[in-house]
Structures are given as structure tokens and as C-alpha cells.
């Protein structure tokens, strides 16, 4: 099993849609989780941390399921500007950060 696994997509959705991405991780001891966003030919940028109790930031909701070892990102009322690749990030055993390959989202008018 890969350390961090994501559905590569692409997810093609209309504006205003709700879309959800999942990410699974292999290290049950991982304690820290994040979602990053990467626009085409740009650098990754932190979108939000993922807390055990789940957390929300505007239209974005992140959740953690430790028992099943997955995290999720929900985007409500999607905008054209949400089009990007979303990277799931899990803290490794060495204190490093392991990035998934990303899920590509394309929001259409």
C-alpha cells in the first residue's frame, strides 16, 4: 500500500456543485494531516490543516477518519477559481511530510 493515496481524477464539476475528495494513508501512527492546493505550473500552497474533530473554513470542510485511515476534503458551492490539484499531506515517521500525487479538480461554468 502506498503511503498516501489519492484518486487522480480529474473531477469535472459545474459551478455551484459540491465535490468531495478522499485520501488514504498507510501509517496508522501518523498524527498530522493537511490539504494543499496546487495551481497549474505553480507551487503548492497550504489550504488547511485537518483536525481530529474535523474542521471547516468557509466552503471547505476537512475530516479525519483514523479507524479507516483516510481524510477527506469537501468543497461546497464550487467556484471556477477552485480549479486546481488538491494534495493530501500526511506526517511521516521521520517528522517529514509525505504528499499524495493529488486530485485534479476542474470546475466548469
Partner 1 sequence: DAGVIQSPRHEVTEMGQEVTLRCKPISGHDYLFWYRQTMMRGLELLIYFNNNVPIDDSGMPEDRFSAKMPNASFSTLKIQPSEPRDSAVYFCASSLVFGELFFGEGSRLTVL
Exactly one of 102, 103, 105, 107 binds partner 1 (CB under 8 A); which one?
Answer: 102
Exactly one of 21, 100, 103, 105 binds partner 1 (CB under 8 A); which one?
Answer: 100
Q: Is 29 in the site for partner 1 (CB under 8 A)?
A: no
**Min separation Cβ 24 and partner 1, Å:** 15
Cβ atoms of 108 and 16 closer than 8 Å = no
Q: Is 64 in the site for partner 1 (CB under 8 A)?
A: no
Cβ atoms of 36 and 86 closer than 8 Å = yes
Buried b (16+ CB within 10 A) or exposed e, 34-61: bbbbbeeeeebeebbebeeeeeeeeebb
Site residues for partner 1, 68-97, by CB under 8 A, read 87, 89, 91, 94-97
Amino acid at each position: 500500500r502506498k503511503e498516501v493515496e489519492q484518486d487522480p481524477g480529474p473531477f469535472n464539476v459545474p459551478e455551484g456543485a459540491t465535490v468531495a475528495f478522499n485520501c488514504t494513508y498507510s501509517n496508522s501512527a501518523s498524527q498530522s494531516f493537511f490539504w494543499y492546493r496546487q495551481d497549474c505550473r505553480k507551487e503548492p500552497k497550504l489550504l488547511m490543516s485537518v483536525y481530529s474533530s474535523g474542521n471547516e473554513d468557509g466552503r471547505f470542510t476537512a475530516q479525519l477518519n483514523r479507524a479507516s485511515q483516510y481524510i477527506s476534503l469537501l468543497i461546497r458551492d464550487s467556484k471556477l477559481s477552485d480549479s486546481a490539484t488538491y494534495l493530501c499531506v500526511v506526517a511521516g515517521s521521520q517528522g517529514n511530510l509525505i504528499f499524495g500525487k493529488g486530485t485534479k479538480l476542474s470546475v466548469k461554468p
